[in-house]
Amino acid sequence: MNKSALITLPLLAFFILLPASTSTYAQAAPNHTAMMPSFNLSSQKWKNRVLLVFAPSSNNPGYQQQMQKFQGHKSAFVERDLILVEVLTDGNSYAKSQQIDPSSAAKLRDRLQVGAQDFRVILVGKDGGVKRRQTTPVQAKAIFEQIDAMPMRQQEMQKRGS
């Protein structure tokens, strides 16, 4: 079997097995259908990095700009064990493309000290610590570069042979 087949087959299998309900990150009003009863950061510790986008609603210009900046980067999120959490005050909050209950969203706002009308982008590392806090939309590439410079990510890349 040649090298291109060894690369192509796993990628093809990944996309075939990818759930059809997975949303793209660039949608201004995500079409999420599954309901996640609750979400908290401690459940992600040592498993995933978490990128939280806080906004009053999906109509917020900062939120819309941020979602556009994530467009086309889904594989980079997956590669970095990075999950997107959208925390919207209007009650439409999502984690891993699943709607989360309003009390979980409120707890995230309280824990990270984000006001109901504030736009924020917050990166939380696998260790549970806040690594980045922005009040304006940020380029996806800047987030990926910051993650790739982290010691834990360096170890992950060495293990995966990247």
Q: What is the pTM of this model?
A: 0.77
Q: What is the pLDDT of residue 62?
A: 98
Q: What is the pLDDT of residue 128?
A: 96
CA–CA dist 32, 57 (Å, integer): 15
Strand-strand pairing, 82-88 and 130-134: unpaired
Query: Are 83 and 96 a contacting pair, CB within 8 Å?
Result: yes
Q: What is the pLDDT of residue 1?
A: 53
Run of H or E including 6: helix 3-17
pLDDT tens for the chain, 162 residues: list them. Answer: 554 444 444 444 444 444 433 333 433 344 444 555 688 899 999 999 999 999 999 999 999 999 999 999 999 999 999 999 999 999 889 998 899 999 999 999 999 999 999 999 999 999 999 999 999 999 999 999 999 999 999 999 998 875
Q: What is the pLDDT of residue 31?
A: 44
Q: What is the pLDDT of residue 18?
A: 42
Q: Which of 39, 26, 37, 46 is nearest to 124 (CA)?
A: 46
Q: What is the pLDDT of residue 37?
A: 63
Query: Amino acid identity, residue 121?
Result: V
Q: Classify residue 1 by its DSSP letter.
A: -
φ/ψ of residue 156, rounded to 5: -60, -45
CA–CA dist 107, 68 (Å, integer): 26
Strand-strand pairing, 49-55 and 130-134: unpaired
Q: Ramachandran region of residue 140, left (φ > 0), alpha (ψ -120 to 50) or beta?
A: alpha
